[in-house]
Structure 1
Amino acid sequence: MSVVRSRLKGEMDRLALTLTSSLEHDRNIFFYDILVDLAHVLTLLKAGHISSEDAIPILKAILEVRDEGMPEGGEDVHEAIEARIIEKAGSAGMKMHTARSRNDEIATCLRLFARDSLLHLAYSLLNLREVLLNRAEEYIDAVMPGFTHLQYAQPTKLSHHLIAYHDMITRDFQRCMDAFKRINLCPLGSAAFASTPFQLDRHYTAKLLGFDGIVENSEDATASRDFLIESIFVSTSVMLTLSRIAEEIILWASEFGFVELPDEYASSSSIMPQKKNPDVAEIVRAKAGKLTGNLMAAMAIYKAMPLSYNRDFQEMNPLLYDSLQCVNLSCDVMAGMLEKVKFRTDVMEEKAGRGFSVATHIADELVKLGVPFRKAHRIVGRLSLNPSYENLKKIMEEEGLEPMDEENFKRCMDVKEVVEARKNIGGTSKEEIRQMLEDRLSALEKDADMVAGLAERISRALEELYREVEMILGGTVEKSGKVKSE
C-alpha cells in the first residue's frame, strides 16, 4: 500500500521502484523512525492538532509495529511504517503525518543514527586508548628501533611509540565529540523545508528525543547533510589511524620479528600449513581505503545540490551506515588485538642500535663539547662508515678538534643510555614517559565521565518519552510494546 501517490495514477514501475527504493538500507533506522513517530504524535497532541482519541490508537499502533519489526513494501521505511499504522489505527492513523514531511523525518532519523553511532565510537576509542596506555605502562622500559623512511633512525622505547598511537586516537576521539555537538540537534518540525502553519513546540520534540537543541532554520534542517559528511569524515579519520597501526603490525609480524600475533587475530594458509597471516590487520587497512571512498562519494553527491531537498540525498545514507558500522567494528577488533599481541622486546632491543641509530646522539654530544652542529653532523657522517672510537678520534684530530672521551663515546653507543638522555618534555626518558602516562590516564578518566554523562542524558530523555506515551495510554508500556493497565 502506498500512502504518498495522491495525484499519480497507478503504481510505480517495478524497475523504477527497485531503483528508487531505500528499504534495503532503511533497516538501519527503523527503530529511530519509531522514536520519531512517537515524539511527533506527542508533539501534535500537546499542540492540540490531534485529540487523545486519535493519539491513543496511533501510539498503540506505533508500538505494535516496533515489535513486529520492519514492514515490507513501499519506497522507504517511513512509508512502510505509516501504511502499517494506518492499517492498524484506521482513520486516526492517517493523521499521524500532520505537520511533517519525509524530509524532516529522514533528517531526524539520520541524526539519531549518527548520534548513537558516534557515542558507540567514543566508547570504542576510550577502550582503545586504555589498552594502549596499559600496554605502554607494561613495556615502559623496553627499547626498540625508531624509523624514518622505514630506515633505522634513532633508538626509542616501545612505551613512547604506543603513547604516540594513543595521542593519535585521542585526537580522533576529540573530533568525534566535536562532531557529536553539531549532530545532536533536531530538525523535526521543519516539514518539507518551509516550515508548517501548524504551531509546534519544536524544543519539546527535541527534548523528547534527547537532542541538545534544534536546527532552527527549517530549510537548513532538511536540506543539509554536512552532519552526515562530518560523521563519515570522523569515521575515515579513525580508520586512517587504525590503518597506520595495522600497517606496523603487519610489518612487525614479518621480517622485523617485533610481534607474535594472537591466534584469535590471525589466520593460516589454505595450502601452506606453517603460515600465520595478519589477515585481521590487513582487512582493517583495506577498510580504511573503503571509507576514504565513502567520504569522496558523499562529498561528490553533495557538492552541487541546490536547496532544498533532493532525492540524491538518499544515496548518501548507505555511506553513513556503512562507515559508522565499519569504524566501530574495526576499532573494537583493533583494541582486542593490541591487548593480546605479544611484543618481542628481546628482538626490538637487539635491533635498536642497528644502522648506527645512535649517530644523532653522538653528534649532539659533540655539540655539547663545543663543536658547531653542522661540523658535528659531518664528523658523525664520516664516522658512520666505521663507527669505532679509534675512527672518531682520527676524524676529530683531522678536523683539528680535541677527541671525545672514550667513556662518553661508550655511553653514546648504549641505546639504553641514549633513550634515557631524552629528558625534554615528551621525550623517551622513563621520567618523561611516566609523566605522559599519568597525564593521559587522568584525561582518559575525565573523557570517560563526559561520554557516560552524554549517554545517560539521552537515555533519560528517551525514558521520559516512553513515560509520556504511558500517560496517554493510561498504563505501563512494557518492553514488548504492549500496554499493561494499572
Structure 2
Amino acid sequence: MDENTNSNDTPLWGGRFGSTPAEAFERVNASIPFDVCLAPFDIRGSIAHATMLGERGIISDDEAKELVRGLKIVLTEVEAGEFAWTIADEDVHTAVERRLREHAGAVAAKLHTGRSRNDQVALDFHLFCREASEKIIAALLETMRAFVDVAEANRETVIPGYTHLQRAQPLLLAHHLLAHFQTLRRDVRRFEAAREAANVSPLGAAALGGTPHPTDPERTAELLGMEPLVNSLDSVSERDFALDLLYACSVLGVHLSRMGEEWVLWTSQEFAFATLSDGFSSGSSIMPQKKNPDAYELMRGKSGRLIGNLSALLVTLKGLPPGYSKDLQEDKEPVMDSVGSVLAMLRVLPEMLRTATFHPKQMREAAGGFALATELADYLAMNGVAFRDAHHAVGRLVRRCEELGLELEELSREELVSAHPELAGFPGELLTPEGSITNKKSLGSTSYKSVERQLAAARDLLETGR
C-alpha cells in the first residue's frame, strides 16, 4: 500500500497500531453521529489551509489547486445531502479526507501538512459558533421587529402591571412589550460578544506547539475572515467561545421562559387577556374545549436544558490541563443542542406574537380599581404631605373600600377627603387607567409620549443598527 494512503478500515492514525479498533471502542470514540454538521466549516477551513500551503510553497501550486478543486466537489456533495457518512470514519475530518482522496487521489494525503486534528477541530467549532451566533442575532432582530409591530398596533391598549403577581399599576401594553424588546436587545449584545470570541482562527497551532513548516496562520485567518491565533497551546484547548455562546443561549432561554410564563397566564380563562391563533395552539386528546399554549410552555420548559448544557460544558472543562484531551469531544453536543433549541423557539415566536388577539376590555378592567391607589398617594406627596403619611392614609382608604365592597373610582369626594383633607382637590381623571398613565413624567415611563419615543427609538435601532 502507498505510504500516503490508508485502507478504508485503518484509521488515519493507525500506523502506530497493530490492529484496528474494537467495534465497541470505535462507537464510543466516534463523533460522526453529531459532528457531521461541521462538514461545511471543515471543508472551508481546509480550502483556506490548502491555499496557504500552495502560496507558501509548502506544496506545489498544482497540488494546492487540485486539493481546492477536490474540496469544492466534496462541499457540493455535503450541501446537496449526497455525502455518505459511516461510523468507521470516526469524525468529520476523516470522512472529508476519505472522500477527497477519492476525488483527488494521493495528493489528498498532503492536505494535513502543518496541521493537526487539534487545531482543525478547534477551527471547525470556532466557525460553527460564529455562524450560529450570526443566525441567532438575525432571529432575535426579527423577534424584536415583531414586538415593535405588535406594540405599534396596540398603542392605546391598557394592561395592569404586576409585582409579586399582584396587580400593581396601569401600563400601556406597548410599554410592556417594549420591555421585552429591551431584554432581547441585551441578548443581541451577548451574541455579538459570542461571535467576536469565536472569530479567532487556531490554525497554525498544530497539535499544541506549532509546526516546523513555514505556514502563515495570518493568511489562513484572513481567508476565513478571522483573527489569527496568539498562543498555540491556548488555541487548541480553550473553549471559552463555546461557553460564551452557551451562556448567551442560557440567558436568552431564561428570557423566553419568562415570556412563555406570561403568555400561559394571559391566555388562561382566569386572565383572558389574549387568545392565541389556532395555528400556534394545540388541543386535548380527551377534552374537546381545550386550547393549549404549548409553544409558550415549551419555551418555558426548554430553559432547563439550555442552562444544563452550559453547566455540562463548564464541568467538562474544569479539570482539563492545557492541550487537547478527548474530553473536548463533549463540547459540541451541548452547543449544537442549545443552538438548535434557541433557533426553533425564535422561528415560532415572531408570528405567534403577530397573530395573537388581545382583549382590551378585560385588560383595562383589571388595570383599574386598587391599581390606582398609588395615584392618590403621589398626589398627596406632591401637595406637601410626607409620602409615608400619604401611604398610610391611602392604605386605610383601601381597607375601607374592601370593607364596603367598593372600588376607589366609586368613592365620593367626601369619602376621599375623610381619608385626608388634601384630597379635596384631587383630579378625578387620575382615578382611571388612562389618567394614571398620562400622569407619568419620568424618563422611560409608561406615559403615552414616553412610549411613542420608545417606539421611535426601537424602530431606529432596527433600521440603522444604532
State the match for 1:42 in structure 2.
51
What SS class does the counterpart of residue 154 from structure 1 fall into? strand
Partner Cα separation in structure 2 for residue 4 and residue 130 of structure 1: 51
SS of residue paired to 1:198: coil
Q: TM-score by structure 1 length?
A: 0.88
1:107-130 per-position Cα deviation (integer Å, ceiling 9, x unaligned): 111111111111111111111111
1:434 is aligned to 2:444: no
Secondary structure class of the residue paired with 1:404: helix
Q: Which residue of 2 aligns with 1:422?
A: 440
In the alignment, structure 1 residue 10 sits paired with structure 2 residue 32: no
1:224 alignment partner AA: E
Q: Deviations over 1:433-478 (max 9, x none)?
A: 111111121122222xx8xxxxxxxxxxxxxxxxxxxxxxxxxxxx
2:437 aligned partner, one-letter code? V
2:316 maps to 301
SS in 2 for 1:155: strand
- Which of 183, 187, 196 is residue 202 of structure 2 equivalent to? 187
Deviation track 1:375-396 (CA, whole Å, cap 9, x = no partner) reads 1111111111114344432232
In the alignment, is residue 76 of structure 1 matched against residue 85 of structure 2? no
CA positional deviation for 1:70: 5.0
Is residue 240 from structure 1 mapped to residue 254 from structure 2 by the alignment?
Answer: yes
* Cα RMSD (Å): 1.5
Residue 193 of structure 2 is aligned to residue 175 of structure 1: no
Structure 2 match to 1:101:
116
Of 133, 157, 165 in structure 2, the residue corresponding to residue 142 of structure 1 is: 157
Matches within 5 A, 1:236-315: 236-254=250-268, 255-315=270-330
2:414 paired with 1:395: no
Q: Is the 8 A contact 2:169 2:372 kept in 1?
A: yes
Query: How far is the alpha carbon of 1:407 from its aligned partner?
Result: 5.2
Where does 1:94-243 land on structure 2 (aligned, <5 Å)?
94-211=109-226, 213-243=227-257
Q: Distance in 2 between matches of 1:178 and 1:31?
A: 23
Distance across 2 between alignment mates of 1:261 and 1:440? 25
Q: Secondary structure at the match of 2:168?
A: strand
The 1:70–1:366 alpha-carbon spacing in structure 2 relative to 1, beyond 3 Å, is: farther
Correspondence 1:350-429 to 2 at 5 A = 350-354=365-369, 356-385=370-399, 386=401, 387=408, 388-389=411-412, 390-396=414-420, 402-405=421-424, 408=427, 410-429=428-447
Letter in 1 for 2:378: D
Count of residues in Structure 1 that have an aligned counterpart in Structure 2 = 440
For the pair 1:320 / 2:344, whether they are aligned, the reply is no
Opposite residue 147 of structure 2, the aligned amino acid is: L
CA shift in 2, pair 1:9/1:358, >3 Å = same
For 1:65, give the aligned amino acid: V
- Provide, for residues 234-271 of structure 1, a one-character-per-residue CA deviation record: whole Å limited to 9, x for no partner: 11111111111111111100010011101111001111
SS in 1 for 2:14: coil
Contact 1:392 1:403 in 2 (8 A): no
Distance 2:321 2:103 in 1: 38
CA distance in 2, matches of 1:100, 1:3: 14
CA distance in 1, matches of 2:65, 2:443: 64
Partner amino acid, structure 2, of 1:99: G
Residue 85 of structure 1: CA displacement?
Answer: 2.2
Q: Secondary structure at the match of 1:153?
A: strand
Structure 2: tracts of 5 or more residues without a match: 1-7, 402-407
* Deviation at residue 326 of structure 1 after TM alignment: 1.4
Structure 1 segments of 4+ aligned residues over 3 angstroms from their partners: 389-392
Q: Contact 1:71/1:81 (CA < 8 Å) preserved in 2?
A: no
1:79 CA displacement: 1.4
Pair 1:341 & 2:341 matched: no
Tell me the distance in 1 between the aligned counterparts of 2:119 and 2:323. Answer: 11
Matched residue type, 2:366: K
Distance 1:403 1:77 in 2: 78
Displacement after TM superposition at 1:406 (Å):
5.8
- Is the 8 Å Cα contact of residues 417 and 424 (structure 2) preserved in structure 1? no
In 2, distance between residues paired with 1:136 and 1:327?
Answer: 23
Specify the code of the residue in structure 1 equivalent to 2:433: V
The residue number in structure 1 matching 2:462 is 444
* Unpaired segments ≥5 residues, structure 1: 397-401, 451-486
Q: Deviations over 1:250-298 (max 9, x none)?
A: 1100010011101111001111111100001111111111101101111
The 8 Å contact of residues 197 and 244 in structure 2, kept in 1 or not, is answered as no
Give deviations 1:338-362, integer Å, cap 9, x for gaps. Answer: 11111111210111114x0111111
CA contact (8 A) 2:130 2:195 kept: yes
Partner residue, 2:4: none
Secondary structure of 2:244 counterpart:
helix
- Alpha-carbon separation, structure 2, partners of 1:173 and 1:185: 20
Match of 1:456 in 2: none
Deviations 1:142-184 (A, max 9, x none): 1111100001111111011001010000000111112212211
Shift of 1:100: 0.3
SS of alignment partner, residue 144 of structure 1: strand
Amino acid at match of 2:134: L
Aligned to 1:59: 68
1:71–1:84 CA contact under 8 A, matched in 2: no
Q: What residue in structure 2 maps to residue 454 of structure 1?
A: none
1: distance between equivalents of 2:37 and 2:129? 11
SS of the residue aligned with 1:174?
A: helix
Contact 1:103 1:192 in 2 (8 A): yes
Equivalent in the alignment of 1:32: 41
Report the alpha carbon displacement of residue 83 of structure 1 after superposing the two structures with TM: 2.4
TM-score (norm 2): 0.91
Is the 1:420–1:429 Cα contact (8 Å) retained in structure 2?
A: yes
Report the AA paired with residue 373 of structure 1.
F
SS in 2 for 1:305: coil
Counterpart of 2:188, as a letter, is: F
The DSSP-based 3-state class of the residue aligned with 1:358 is helix
Contact 1:132 1:163 in 2 (8 A): yes
